Amino acid sequence: MMTSRFVSSESLLAKRLDAHAEEIRARGLLLHCELDAGFQMRPRAGLDAALEALIRFVLSTIPAGCEVYLASTRSAAPVSRLGEGRLILRWQVSGDPQTSGNLRSLRPRAGDAATHAASKSGLRVRAAFAAVGWGMELVPLAAGRELMARIECRGGD
């Protein structure tokens, strides 16, 4: 096994996030990263597309000025299972704007995490990771005000 077939999770994720840096900055989003420097991922067909779909999904569901928490950790497994680990993202979600007569709220209503998770976009993101051979789940948290994406990264071909 050649370790050159693996890249750090940090560099793979940074590449995808850098493509959206301007939007993240313009919307005042705060990104908190706790990335395991030792977590190596095996690049594979469809992985960039799956990560891009995930980032677009997060950006489409998060209100301006909110925070995103991103963590990666390698599995506590022998070297033979190099490339296995977990990615976790957690963020606040927006809901439909509240309306009162002809007035429309300037801020989206929080609390639609389950709706976002079950949406076509949510299903597409899960399908993108399934196509790569990785497991993914979207879990509503905090009484529906937050969403967590938990991705099981599998190292095998």
Q: What is the pLDDT of residues 103-118, one digit of tens each?
A: 555 544 556 899 999 9
CATH number of the domain encompassing residue 129: 3.30.565.10
Ranges 38-42, 67-71, 114-118: which has the least confidence: 38-42
Q: What share of the chain has pLDDT > 90, as a percent? A: 50
For residue 3, is it within any domain? no
* 21-43 mean pLDDT: 88
For residue 63, is it within any domain? yes
Surface-to-core class of residue 134, CB atoms within 10 Å of its CB (0-12 exposed, 13-18 middle, 19+ buried): buried
For residue 119, is it within any domain? yes
Range of the structural domain that residue 80 is part of: 26-94+112-153
The pLDDT of residue 39 = 78
Closest CA to 68 of 36, 13, 30: 30
Ranges 38-52, 57-71, 88-102, 108-122: which has the least confidence: 88-102
Ranked by mean pLDDT, the top range of 80-84, 90-94, 132-136 is 132-136
For residue 35, is it within any domain? yes
The pLDDT of residue 1 = 40
Give CA 47 to chain center in angstroms. 13
For residue 102, is it within any domain? no
For residue 85, is it within any domain? yes
* 129-137 mean pLDDT: 94
Mean model confidence pLDDT for the chain: 83
Ranges 1-10, 28-37, 126-135: which has the least confidence: 1-10
DSSP lists the bridge partners of residue 71 as: 34, 88
For residue 72, is it within any domain? yes
Ranked by mean pLDDT, the top range of 18-32, 63-77, 89-103, 108-122 is 18-32
Q: What is the largest CA-CA distance in the chain?
A: 65
Contact 138, 117 (CB under 8 A): yes
For residue 64, is it within any domain? yes
The domain total for the chain is 1
Secondary structure class of 65 (helix, strand, coil) = coil
